[in-house]
Structure 1
Amino acid sequence: MKVSEPLEPARKVIFNPFLASFKSDPYPTYHRLQESDPVHKSSLNGAWVLTRYADIKKVLRDPRFRAEQLSGRIAAKSLVPRAAGDFAPLAIATGTWLLFLDPPDHTRLRSLVGKAFSSAEVERLRGQIREMVNQLLDQVKDRERLDLIGDLAAPLPVMVIAKMLGLPAADLDKLRHWADELSRVVDPLRSLGDYEYLNEVAGEMIDYFRRLIGERRLALGEDRLSALITAREQEDKLSENELLSICIFLFVAGEETTVNLIGNGMLALLRSPEQMGQLQRHLELIPTAVEEFLRYDSPAQFTSRVATEDIELGGKTIGAGELVYLCLGAANRDPAQFADPDHLDLARSDNRHLAFADGIHYCLGSILARLEGQIAIEAIVRTFPDLKLSPEPLEWRENIILRGLKSLPVTTG
């Protein structure tokens, strides 16, 4: 077979994110699509699926593609005859999630919120994050078996965001539970029953933050919640519902990216003993290693856009109003962009991955997620020099947008 020939005819390429084989390892499917059908019309919901780096980067920067409106998806679910209510709590909770907004709303809200995630502000957290990681590791360092997700990766980002907002440590467990559950709303193929459950979760989270914001208004401090309450941009400020939604968004987005970065990164290391040894000998590679983990097994596999007009791409016409899934995970394994893309290379120098997307929707919390990942992974590698994967099968979470393990069991000696 010639190199220029597709691996198999386009009609035989199956994109089914519900298959167990896909959840375990989606990358062979991505490569087949890149080779033979890079602008793929899915049979699941009629959406387009893009898998090539160049196409995805182009769409992320093209204003003719707007963000998918999560509010529209929620509204559509509420119109189902057997739906319980209008999903108002869920609509409020997700109303200002930046990845589902376009200018001018996106520009305004990002300006009001973004100051908390600048390089300078995040750098001030370095010492506190290191203390949190050490605290979590102190609780498990003498064990022979542990779960890197449940014992470290999952608690850490909730601790960090709670500290930023000045929330009580006693609330960490319920905040983590709420954030973990509500992250499922980004999955476009959830059932009506899922939406009804998530609406209840959203209501609980709204009640919590409404009470907390009311109390904080009476006693403002140096925390980021106080800063959000008083945030202004040219006489503009956050409304009450916007403030509630932003607080919820910080937990959901902050948790998912960091948990999956640490979990997927450590899994890749544990499956690559040579790379693990290299990192243990050269801890100065931690920053480039984290970039490689983000590329190699991206925490967010997809983001979505909607075409505002008929647009030609890859020899096909994406019609106005049609939904497009941009497969960030595939873009980051594209051999046209990355040399030997399926090889984990902790010293990879040219690593302009799209794990945090690109353009105006580039991840607001990317600096914080990187810092958390760097500190946590370095601490794990230092603390457990003989870390090994446990033999039990790994389970991936039920989410086609986000890629992360339910648990990562390991042995320490």
Structure 2
Amino acid sequence: MDTATDSGETPAEPSATDVAMADLFLPTHRADPYTPARKLREAGPVHRTPLGLHLLTRYAECASVLQSNDWSHADEAGQLHPSVSAEEAAEELPTSFLWMDPPDHTRLRTLVSKAFTPRTVAALRPRIEQLATELVDAALKAGEFDLIDLIAYPLPLTVVCELVGVPAADHKAAQLWSQDLARGFDPDVLMTPEAHAARSTASREFMRYFRELIDRRRAEPADDLLSALAAVEDRGDVLTETELLTTCVTTLVAGHETTVNLVGSGLLALMRNPDQMALLREHPEYVPSAVDELLRYEPPVQLTTRSAKRPMTLGGQRIEEGEGVVVHIAAANRDPEAYRAPERLDVARFHDRIAPPPRHLGFSLGIHYCLGAPLAMLEMEILLHELIRRGVTMEALTDEPPYKPNLVVRGLSALPVRFGASS
């Protein structure tokens, strides 16, 4: 093939940084986004992406942006989803307070946070333990099964649906809509026409569904988040109908999609590092540390964006007001300047209370720190304790399990495994 340009010049070969940037965004690299992320991190802290945003790859810059009020999270829709107009945003991308700044972010987050207080989350422990026991029972009975289908989805999906107030008969529909919405968080340019259409359908179906369910809750209130928010919206001074609907969608989707990926990627990491699972069996007190380490090692949310509220310098790069950055959480979480031997899974890493490592970015930082973090941590901790208590042995049945095409909310689409009992 003739590669000469019209001017007769041969195009320059892409640089190693260009190749790593392409690899980072290509769906073919979902199984290992960490190699191109490492190459970019080693090449420098700030890079210009094909999206026109600055990519941040090191912990110091990423943590600084996430913690600072000088950066806005209100522009992500325009940065990554220019195909969605402002008029369509609520119906097409119902993200509620996720992509807001104060005071609206504070107002809406405060309403939802009442469902995630330490007391509320602690009260869910018996139900989560019951579910974990039932799911492990089913897994041991099956022997060989898809871990994503049998454990990773049912555990967090059931918990958050019950918390919000979605009836059991509707859980499967909520799961399918959530999957299409999670895919839709990716930049528009990386999505197929089919994925665009699926996102639109899922968004509109979710909004329609919650409109109907809210009407039912007004007639017959229950002890759930939906009834509580509907009562607030009825007052008309704190919450609009659109805010109510998008907040319900956001809470349900964010309340399980990321945990599904934590369970799937986390258990696969432990299967690939049997010495670390053995260490957990010997020291079950390391389980909370192990969950933090799995979030550092395989963060379910790989990246997020922010835009500068004022001109500033970041990693030696001038960022003008209004310019956007991609905070690459996965790259920052494996920065050797922040973590010793960052490519190694170490379930005891966060157990050190005397000289703990920096907080990982798996749940973000600052005002957008994950509202459901305590619930996700509890679900994974209970599942790990149940596996340890039952002496469950785990074996992945393939070296290359399939991944979803998702860039932002990354996870396995299936994980064939074999479970056994050692005691």
Equivalent positions of 1:103-182 (< 5 A) are: 103-182=102-181
RMSD: 2.4
SS where residue 411 of structure 2 aligns?
coil
Match of 2:413 among 384, 406, 409: 406
* Sequence identity (%): 40
Q: Which moved more, 1:63-72 or 1:222-231?
A: 63-72
Match of 1:23 among 5, 30, 53: 30
Equivalent positions of 1:310-321 (< 5 A) are: 310-321=311-322
Aligned to 1:379: 386
Equivalent positions of 1:79-118 (< 5 A) are: 88=88, 91-92=90-91, 94-118=93-117
2:121–2:375 Cα contact (<8 Å) kept:
yes
**Separation in structure 2 between the aligned mates of residue 69 and residue 223 of structure 1, nearest angstrom:** 31
**Separation in structure 2 between the aligned mates of residue 178 and residue 22 of structure 1, nearest angstrom:** 25
* 2:227 is equivalent to residue 226 of structure 1: yes
**Separation in structure 2 between the aligned mates of residue 75 and residue 355 of structure 1, nearest angstrom:** 23
1:162 alignment partner AA: C
SS where residue 142 of structure 2 aligns?
coil
**Separation in structure 2 between the aligned mates of residue 292 and residue 373 of structure 1, nearest angstrom:** 12
**Separation in structure 1 between the aligned mates of residue 227 and residue 246 of structure 2, nearest angstrom:** 15
Distance 1:226 1:299, change over 3 A: same
Equivalent positions of 1:284-299 (< 5 A) are: 284-299=285-300
1:331–1:354 Cα contact (<8 Å) kept:
yes
Aligned to 2:11: none
CA shift, 1:141, in A, is 1.8
- CA offsets per residue over residues 232-256 of structure 1, 9 Å max, x none? 8x98432111111111111211122
Distance 1:19 1:192, change over 3 A: closer
- CA offsets per residue over residues 300-331 of structure 1, 9 Å max, x none? 11011112333211111123322211011111
**Separation in structure 1 between the aligned mates of residue 79 and residue 227 of structure 2, nearest angstrom:** 32
Distance 1:220 1:21, change over 3 A: closer
Aligned residues: 397
Unpaired runs of at least 5, structure 2: 1-14
Distance 1:197 1:74, change over 3 A: farther
**Separation in structure 1 between the aligned mates of residue 127 and residue 27 of structure 2, nearest angstrom:** 39
**Separation in structure 1 between the aligned mates of residue 136 and residue 17 of structure 2, nearest angstrom:** 50
Unpaired runs of at least 5, structure 1: 1-8, 80-85
SS where residue 30 of structure 2 aligns?
helix
1:40–1:48 Cα contact (<8 Å) kept:
yes
SS where residue 248 of structure 1 aligns?
helix
**Separation in structure 1 between the aligned mates of residue 373 and residue 228 of structure 2, nearest angstrom:** 20
SS where residue 20 of structure 2 aligns?
coil
Aligned to 2:64: 58
Aligned to 1:83: none
CA shift, 1:115, in A, is 1.1
Match of 1:36 among 43, 47, 68: 43
CA shift, 1:78, in A, is 4.5
Aligned to 2:246: 245
Q: Which moved more, 1:173-182 or 1:317-326?
A: 317-326
CA shift, 1:24, in A, is 1.7
- CA offsets per residue over residues 1-42 of structure 1, 9 Å max, x none? xxxxxxxx8756621234466322122222222222211112
**Separation in structure 2 between the aligned mates of residue 115 and residue 212 of structure 1, nearest angstrom:** 20
* 2:46 is equivalent to residue 49 of structure 1: no
SS where residue 324 of structure 1 aligns?
strand
- CA offsets per residue over residues 115-136 of structure 1, 9 Å max, x none? 1111111111011111122222
